[in-house]
A and B are shown apart, each in its own frame.
Chain A
Amino acid sequence: MSDIVVIGGGIVGVSIAHELAKRGENVTLFEKRYIGSGSTFRCATGIRQQFGDEANIQVMKRSVELWKKYSEEYEFPFDQTGYLFLLYSEEEVEDFKKNIALQNKFGVPTRLITPEEAKEIAPLINIDEVIAASWNPTDGKADPFFAVTAFARKAKEYGAKIYEYTEVKDILVEKGEIKGVKTNRGFFKADIVVNAANAWAPLINIMAGIPIDIPIRPYKHQSIITQPIERGSIKPMVISFRHHDAYITQTHHGGVIGGIGLEYGPTYDLTPTYEYLKEVTKTLPQIVPALKNLRILRMWAGYYAKTPDSNPAIGRIEEIDQLYIAAGFSGHGFMMSPAVGEMIAELIIKGRTHLPIWWYDPYRFERGELREKAIQMG
């Protein structure tokens, strides 16, 4: 049996290892810090199917099925409390009507609702200038850390080996064939390598010496969390493109988590910025006025590993036998991860997958075939 190595212990790497181990494969995962220590637990919990293109809608529909299944089986919180996009102009409404029609075609039950209906779903929002909203009750949120630890635990039960604090330093390739990986804790034989390092994926690509350019760059994004308040105060993920691409929801623990799209980069720096703190505290209360009265407990930063079309690179690198990549999730990798795990596992084992993986073709950048930009938000 082949020795499969997954590089990266974030939600994507762990999901891939979990799916492979579940199918009986011999898989080892290397993580340079600890499981979930990268962008995974810095992410804002959201899981949505409201995308603007066929591939992402189908993949996210499958992903939500898996979120539901695994959260029940492995007992971690996943709440289908919906995503609510607040719309403020006729142009926005027209755009969303198109998205909704496409989502409905693939069985995602999104609908356009009135501001009053939106207010019933999330009573704390200010609807003064809202003219409509896009609402899908089957979207939701999950606790990234509980999710990633649950998947890691199950992966181990299925036989996967997970090495934390083990950094991959080099990938040994001879005549186009992978021989193994060199880490700070020794050399490991490998026949197959999966690059799931997201923000650090370009470094792994260099180690493997891949002959194509996959432009993934790290950008600093930030979030804040408030003191916990009565649970159920803000059930859905509330989104407003009008307000700096703002998102607001309440975590399972009770804190209100939120952010805006103010972006810095490309950079590997994660220092929280004052400019962001001032902007976010000015902006979010315009959507939920009661936030003015809430104390912020913490702010932090994480990476969006961005590609030029905000779609990830998922697939096989043909010139190196056998190297796979699943990286560059551009701010929505957490929600996609269960489906990505399935896609990569099927691709490795069967050479094909039932999901439209071609959309995420790592070669598209070289060919100049950028996709329609995926909705990047939360």
Chain B
Amino acid sequence: MRPLDIYEKDPSKQVTIYFEGTPLIAYEGEKISVALLANGIRWISISSEGRKRGAFAFGPALVKINGIKNKDARKTKVKDGMRIERQTYLEYQESVEVDKSKPPEKYVIDVAIVGGGIAGIGATLELQDYLTVALIEEKGYLGGDMRRKSVPVKKFDNKEAKEVVKDLVTKLNKNVKVFKGTTLLGIYRDGNLFLLSAAKGERLVEIYAKKVILATGAVDNFMLFENNEMPGVFRRDFALELINVWGVKPGNKVAVVGRKPEDIVPELERVGIEYIIVKNPKRVEGEESVERIIDIEGNVYEVDAVIMSDGRRPDMNPITLVGGKIIFKNGAYVPVKNDKNEIIEGVYVAGSVASLKSHYANYLEGRLVARYILNELGVGVSIQELKEEFEKINKEIEEPLPQIDLSKLNLEETYICGCDVTLKSVVDVVNGGITNLQIVKRLTHLAMGFCQGRYCLFNGAVIVSKLSGIDMDKIDLPTARPPLKPVTMKVIGNE
């Protein structure tokens, strides 16, 4: 077993990869980032400003593969003999490979569902007997946050979360075209239809649909403390995926930080990872990767990984991309929707992108939205019973605002954005009298990088609100623009 393997992997799939010249064991199907971590390697890339970076906090995870620069270690799978090297974010590949690209795959279907989590699956199951469905999921697996968990879910007969997903997925029928590993890039109106543009690896996919359901989920809150982006810091969702999808542990001795330790702790206990909960983290330190964490009171804890478990908030980028409006409610920005969960004509929301609630409520909401659409498209189905059940269990989760004590942090070493934007640069601009987040964004480059603000805009809004006294609901949040996720020019521009 490799240093951080939780269990033995299938030996018939074993391959050898090289990192900075050292041979390492990997298994077919693994992502580079996962295989390197299993071997204990956390520092894999170098930021624009020369900071050491891993693959599980924020910012891109760019590496050189077989001499080709600017490849994504989170998306590329290992191959036998692969040579991987570190690079800085600014290195790019000048030579152009011989063009092997094919024209876009095109599909015409009834309903396109973006997001293969529990809400998307629920909606698909309702629709598939009557209509054709495209289920688009960026990850290589369906189930979203539930697939990343082993805890039992009461409302689903007390079955393990990931088992619930597996059972439901077997029920998908031939009316469903599942697009795994497929990243949504944009949604455009095309006459009476919507055109969804997506990238499946290096191939462009174009899906024409009558209706769209955004079941795109929530994103984890990113916490602000010193060196919060260094290798060895993990977002909760990445840590869960490592444990439950890949069978790899984030570390041998882990510090859990954030206001929701209960969202990760049972999973750590289940696989026997030693952990300590550290309230009020001030700073993490280490040579190449996390070696210790220090809290505000000055207590030092020796650990090899830090997991941020600080709750989630709906991802507003897909909402604003299609022209949906947002409001601030229960501590989060959420989409404005009508009583059928429609945000603009023909585009619906379901699951935790609509509001934060339990897995089961998200599942029911997916099914409910599907029934609204069935009725819209002339398939009469009953709504009442499902609606009542949903309304009975739907308790929206209130997210408290992060308490950021600026006086206790070295702001120059605290990162608000993965693209080398320090908390200091944002605080300076706001203290300089600029309280408009749109301007803060342009002056600091906050939210102008790889994630389009998915992991930093909320904190930016909190800082502006805190320093200026402007209410969160009065802050003008920037609108997401295509492409929703970064994509190389050759993927789109090749016909």
In the bound complex, CA of A231 to CA of B450 (Å): 18
In the bound complex, CA of A298 to CA of B439 (Å): 17
B92 and A230 contact, CB distance less than 8 A: yes
A296 and B92 contact, CB distance less than 8 A: no
Any A CB within 8 A of the CB of B51: no
Tell me how far the C-beta of B220 lies from the nearest C-beta in chain A, rounded to whole angstroms: 21
Cβ 8 A contact of A295, one of B48, B323, B448, B488: B488
Query: Which residues of chain A are near B357, meaning CB under 8 Å?
Result: none
Query: Which residues of chain B are near A289, meaning CB under 8 Å?
Result: 96
A145 and B442 contact, CB distance less than 8 A: yes
A293 and B488 contact, CB distance less than 8 A: yes
Any B CB within 8 A of the CB of A241: no
Cβ 8 A contact of A293, one of B92, B195, B445, B483: B92
Any A CB within 8 A of the CB of B340: no
Cβ 8 A contact of B439, one of A149, A226, A274, A283: A149
Any A CB within 8 A of the CB of B181: no
Cβ 8 A contact of B492, one of A35, A273, A281: A281
A299 and B482 contact, CB distance less than 8 A: yes
Cβ 8 A contact of B93, one of A274, A277, A283, A290: A290
Cβ 8 A contact of A278, one of B438, B490, B493: B493
Q: Which of B96, B197, B323, B482 has the most CB of A within 10 A?
A: B482
Tell me how far the C-beta of A154 lies from the nearest C-beta in chain B, rounded to whole angstroms: 14
A294 and B493 contact, CB distance less than 8 A: no
B184-206 CB mask vs A (1 if < 8 Å, else 0) is: 00101000000101000000000
Any A CB within 8 A of the CB of B376: no
In the bound complex, CA of A41 to CA of B442 (Å): 9
Cβ 8 A contact of B89, one of A228, A291, A294: A228
The closest CB in chain A to the CB of B322 belongs to A271
In the bound complex, CA of A136 to CA of B195 (Å): 43
B483 and A299 contact, CB distance less than 8 A: yes
Tell me how far the C-beta of B273 lies from the nearest C-beta in chain A, rounded to whole angstroms: 34
A297 and B452 contact, CB distance less than 8 A: yes
Query: Which residues of chain A are near B1, meaning CB under 8 Å?
Result: none
B452 and A298 contact, CB distance less than 8 A: yes
A271-306 CB mask vs B (1 if < 8 Å, else 0) is: 111100110111111000111111111111000000
B48 and A34 contact, CB distance less than 8 A: no
B490 and A230 contact, CB distance less than 8 A: no
The closest CB in chain A to the CB of B89 belongs to A228
Any B CB within 8 A of the CB of A189: no
Cβ 8 A contact of A277, one of B94, B95, B186: B186
A285/B186 contact (C-beta < 8 A), A34-B436, A290-B94 known: no
A-B contact count (CB 8 A): 124
A277/B90 contact (C-beta < 8 A), A295-B486, A300-B481 known: no
The closest CB in chain A to the CB of B323 belongs to A271
B486 and A227 contact, CB distance less than 8 A: yes
In the bound complex, CA of A49 to CA of B165 (Å): 63
B490 and A292 contact, CB distance less than 8 A: yes
Query: Which residues of chain A are near B481, meaning CB under 8 Å?
Result: 272, 298-300
B90 and A292 contact, CB distance less than 8 A: no
A274/B489 contact (C-beta < 8 A), A145-B443, A253-B445 known: no
The closest CB in chain A to the CB of B91 belongs to A230
Query: Which residues of chain A are near B402, meaning CB under 8 Å?
Result: none
The closest CB in chain B to the CB of A279 belongs to B493
Query: Which residues of chain A are near B90, meaning CB under 8 Å?
Result: 228-231, 254
A282 and B452 contact, CB distance less than 8 A: no
The residues in B between 9 and 62 inclusive whose CB is less than 8 angstroms from any CB of A are 48, 60
Any B CB within 8 A of the CB of A163: no
Tell me how far the C-beta of B319 lies from the nearest C-beta in chain A, rounded to whole angstroms: 15
Tell me how far the C-beta of A51 lies from the nearest C-beta in chain B, rounded to whole angstroms: 29
Tell me how far the C-beta of A261 lies from the nearest C-beta in chain B, rounded to whole angstroms: 17
A293 and B492 contact, CB distance less than 8 A: no
In the bound complex, CA of A294 to CA of B60 (Å): 13
Cβ 8 A contact of A297, one of B48, B89, B92, B448: B448
A274 and B92 contact, CB distance less than 8 A: no
Query: Which residues of chain B are near A226, meaning CB under 8 Å?
Result: 489
Cβ 8 A contact of A298, one of B195, B323, B448: B448
The residues in A between 73 and 104 inclusive whose CB is less than 8 angstroms from any CB of B are none
A293/B70 contact (C-beta < 8 A), A149-B443, A229-B90, A274-B197 known: yes
In the bound complex, CA of A86 to CA of B482 (Å): 29
Any B CB within 8 A of the CB of A37: yes
Any B CB within 8 A of the CB of A146: yes
Any A CB within 8 A of the CB of B494: yes
Query: Which residues of chain B are near A284, meaning CB under 8 Å?
Result: 489, 493
Any A CB within 8 A of the CB of B6: no
Cβ 8 A contact of B490, one of A228, A231, A285: A285
Query: Which residues of chain B are near A349, meaning CB under 8 Å?
Result: none
Nearest 4 CB-CB pairs, A to B?
A: A281-B493, A295-B486, A282-B493, A292-B490
Binding site for A on B (CB under 8 A): 48, 60, 70, 89-96, 186, 188, 195, 197, 323, 419, 434, 436, 438-439, 442-443, 445, 448-450, 452, 481-483, 486-490, 492-495
Binding site for B on A (CB under 8 A): 34-37, 41, 124, 145-146, 149, 164, 226-231, 233, 253-254, 271-274, 277-278, 280-285, 289-300
27 pairs from A and B in contact (CB 8 Å cutoff):
A34-B439, A37-B438, A41-B442, A146-B443, A149-B443, A227-B89, A227-B449, A229-B91, A230-B91, A253-B445, A272-B481, A274-B197, A277-B186, A277-B482, A277-B483, A277-B492, A278-B493, A282-B494, A283-B493, A285-B489, A285-B490, A293-B489, A294-B489, A295-B450, A296-B487, A297-B450, A299-B483
